[in-house]
Structure 1
């Protein structure tokens, strides 16, 4: 069985660049006529999805380069926790397709440069716990992957075997595992003291493992299903994930790898 650290320590910067470029290609191929296609995220069309990525990349650059300015952003988010993210994406989306795409391309390039130049030990402020640069790269992979899945689903494109999307899976899975305690916190629950062992299989047959091998609580199954679940792109019942132990099952029902309030997830059968 392979060492999971071998997979997750592959260059995350390259993984993020490849994934972003692939999502960009999907949007370009859809053309002007596909720009306002509805995605599985209620109220969000492709324009909103890309605008949100642009907004978040811009805010990430601010967090790295100007902590005081980012603090102002956080204050606005606290004042309107349920509408702030949507408002930011909607403001950018209103500028039109060409402007949104240009803004996203510029922002993700600036972010890539900022993350590579940052001190590896630096604690970058964020809406959740502060992150080191490597963790922020992983977070951007996770979010770009999740919104890329929404875009692909909206366009009817199967990316389950796409190299850029599958290459992101180890990074998303690792973040999904590491945010177990955070998911309980965001749901107002106390995280159980028990450890969980997670054993996942990538599309190419490679295995990923996280957590103590001797743990009684266990999660096994396809890495794709786990990543879809922790980004709330699939209902728990529509996955092939198997659990041993009540704590493991409870976690999967509230799992979220993203910062902020718990999302609504997907309805049962929406991605069967």
Structure 2
């Protein structure tokens, strides 16, 4: 995995990619429905702006975030929906400007948290540090390090960008930035099981994915008895619940791996509703 500096550069690039889709849209087009039920393009961008703002608070003021977390715990679904709903009611030009400002702020906040001594170290350890003293950033799910927060923000930006692209009838070419999305999808395996009241498998899986450039990305021991294989794009669409597994070319070997493909969830919060399979996959 790259260092935090590279991660943040990729996060900025992912935001710019989605920005290029929505910036030219006339105001009326922001009201177009996306595959997420009840959400328009404006809701998607508002949610990203809202979540970036929450992440910035978490990275800069733990006490203030604790108060936000109390509100979220009281009404998890309603708290998130309110942020998207209120933002979607804004003038699109104002919402776009606010989202751009929030993208800059979260990147600035995470940049400050990188210890100078870890600039060239890998971020693939199980417990990445969030700052010079090793503190971790609180969140709606488990606390995380700065690198994990950057990866989570990239994952969400990409996933909601897919919904926007679908609403516009656009197909975005996958990039190597999907490696970050796939990584968080793999790392959240046990969370996805527990989030649905299921006991996580005791052993690691072998994950073998084909990247967009034809290279192979792997996780887990080579001799693991259970595995998941397929295109990286398909795995990312599954883990972010943007496609039903029946529409994807993923293969699971082993009962636990097969079950994982039904419950995979790379994002914090309650289990998502997922997507229904297309007519051709039924």
Q: Say whether the fold is shared (TM-score over 0.5).
A: yes
- Selected match of 1:179 from 177, 181, 188: 188
Aligned CA-pair RMSD: 1.6
Aligned 8 A contact 1:234 1:271 in 2? no
Structure 1 residues 30-39 or 133-142, which shifts more?
30-39
Report matched runs for 1:31-180 at 5 Å: 31-118=26-113, 119=131, 121-159=134-172, 161=173, 165-180=174-189
TM-score of the superposed pair, with normalisation by structure 2: 0.90
Unaligned runs of 5+ in 2: 114-130
Q: Which residue number corresponds to residue 202 of structure 1?
A: 211
- SS for the counterpart of 1:83 is helix
Aligned equivalents of 2:3, 2:30: Cα separation in 1: 33
Q: Count matched residues.
A: 263
Aligned equivalents of 1:123, 1:95: Cα separation in 2: 33
Aligned equivalents of 1:251, 1:9: Cα separation in 2: 29
Structure 1 residues 125-134 or 84-93, which shifts more?
84-93
Q: Which residue number corresponds to residue 256 of structure 1?
A: 265
Aligned equivalents of 1:31, 1:98: Cα separation in 2: 9
Q: Which residue number corresponds to residue 228 of structure 1?
A: 237
Q: CA deviation at 1:244?
A: 0.6
Q: CA deviation at 1:168?
A: 2.0
Unaligned runs of 5+ in 1: none
Aligned equivalents of 2:171, 2:186: Cα separation in 1: 25
Aligned equivalents of 2:192, 2:276: Cα separation in 1: 19
Q: CA deviation at 1:8?
A: 8.6
- SS for the counterpart of 2:221 is coil
Aligned 8 A contact 1:15 1:167 in 2? no
Aligned 8 A contact 1:12 1:137 in 2? yes
Aligned equivalents of 2:170, 2:4: Cα separation in 1: 29
Aligned equivalents of 2:195, 2:258: Cα separation in 1: 17
Q: CA deviation at 1:32?
A: 1.8
